[in-house]
Chain A
């Protein structure tokens, strides 16, 4: 077999199974870093062996077996024989069972999907909130620290350090690899959802929704979102989050002209929106509704759903959107929902109330928040306060890192309402 074919086969296994392999190894050792090291070594071993021996019938089992052997070696070096013996014995037996499994069903039995536990560990409240999303992206999808650092606009050295610290914490504090029970379920799920959504929105800046630019990690976030729904199909908020991301993703092709100019949501051509993604989003939202527990992500997805169902730019059901924002600010009174609510007020024919709502947000929270200034400028324009509107547009333009959005804001600034 050629080296490139082996390489491609290894990459395919890595794409499909990386998170499952890490989760399986880490759930047993309680140590994400050593699971990554062991699996990394196993992939190196595969690159050596597979070109000679051919790709094994059960590549995951092969990798797991190899990783197990590495982990056992490493554990032997670290611990005294006596302490390590029972754990090592069990580990060796498990690896053997997986390697010997003859059918996929048998392999599944011995290779249970532990990714849900891993997701709960990555988004554990004991882990620094800023490290949760990067940790999840690295542990579940194997994305390297440098790429995560660029997406989050953090120096690669600092990001690597943040990840190491988080993994040390998991091991040192013995954060349990388990799915939390009912009393803490809702809160713990919300941490997992927030971490995934943060991966989706990283690098995005927008006027009044999260449908704008960059989308550095959008595809990865959706992949984790789909996994999460498959792992907990009866959690309505997981479906709400997935629906929200799918709705935003559906508009990707409509967001820019062929010359690369920015098009705001209400000016987009709905014919360019992806129907399959919208339908997938709607299906999740419908299923979520049957589970009878409303939440932040279902509300946000419902707002996007209304945008998606509009017939024409002037036929958006703003009063309905406003109603949903009223609910949203109760669940998640973040700055994004407060600004969104103000825009919905303005579009529902209440620009004075919209301006009051914007002015109620503490100044310190909006001093570098671009969407606030774009929204404020728009509301001032509606009120005929053109000079104030221009100043706010300039402020918004100075706060965006997206050149197409900057150009758009200057154009809006030059328009009369």
Chain B
């Protein structure tokens, strides 16, 4: 009967959610917005490409003086420049619009600025002067060095290929960080998508005065577990719908969208961080779900629950204020506090798990803490719903509800 009722609750809650027009408007708004952004990017890229082509073909006419002695007249001519003999006249020519710009190359361009006088062509096109002046100096320096290799080295155009070891084994580096971090992403998306619905899940019974009918028909644990599971299914569906335009965009419009060609084969799926990440996700989800449902059971209306809801939501973002410390000094006191404080623990521990600084012992402690507290929160939520939701229009006294014991 309990299993039958659980399925009934899941089915009822799921279908009543997905049957609502409001749900589809909210759900489709994001992919539609993404599709619009992608379309704008494609159009913009085409326009940028056309503009770049036009700029490439458009020649800049400029005058210059060079106190450094690095720039040859031949080099300047290839960029459209002619040497000026009178700086004041050159500026007057710019003002008159007979040349586009006048560049004054100083004696020591490494320490002194190149002064540029140009016709105003708008914020974006004015940048061309700066780019051309710099490029002339770069090419002039390359010509002085006389070797493309040395020029590249001088420009710091150097690649390195690292291999690091952890416990005597080759570590995955950044490729090993990304996969466990996916759990953090899923945690954020699921909490953001589902939190307000979790909060409202038991409020609805109170606001509709349907609590007594429910409590005499159905075990409250079955009701709450059914609601949470249906919300999770709804959240999964929403995530898939949100991801769909990204996947389509990547697979079919990658070049138009200037998306990088991701080579997923380089990602290192290390079992331990993946398992720990998955358990932290589940534990964190359980804790937040239980807490939100408990808040809903105590508060008479969604409006009054909002204050506590906001505080709880803020806690999942707090660890990002110390993310640099989490990466650089995971044993700092504040990082340790955030690792073990229940409502900041999921995010902090998942970050540390991704960066490889969460020890096995710490993982076990945090996972156990999240599951134990999550279970307690869910039990409390059920208890508060059972003995609290009958207080339809007033806030439940938790102490009063907890005093109520089971029948002897």
B partners with A: no
A→B interface (CB under 8 Å): none
